[in-house]
Structure 1
Amino acid sequence: MVRCERVILLDLEMSSDQGVEQMMWKTVFHQMVELIRKQLAEDRTEETRFMLHNILDEVG
């Protein structure tokens, strides 16, 4: 992750051409959202669903 940040800060044009910011977003946020969605689908307890919905609301 630090490498992506360095690329963005050192060469904005190249990072834009290579989609570094999108790659970083997908790595950090998209994978976490997908993990939470999977847990919501698998875990039917109300307490867990409430907790995961709160997490999604905080980041959304």
Structure 2
Amino acid sequence: DGLANEADFPWDTDGYRAPQSEFIDAITFDGRKPNAYLDSFPIGLKSGEVISASEVVSQ
């Protein structure tokens, strides 16, 4: 529609912020690795884990 110019966008970056650790939990969040952030918590399913017959199992 001609409403945006190429100069309006930061083409010299991948669009991700630097890893942040200023959140309430003080665990560093890297937008390039969101599952690593979730896996760092002591509760919840981790990568490769599923619920089967009321048990947590690794795939």
Q: TM-score range by the shorter chain?
A: under 0.3
> Relative contact order (C-alpha < 8 Å, sep 6+): which is higher?
1
TM-score, normalised relative to structure 2: 0.27
Greater share of strand residues, 1 or 2?
A: 2
Greater share of helix residues, 1 or 2?
A: 1
Bigger Cα Rg: 2
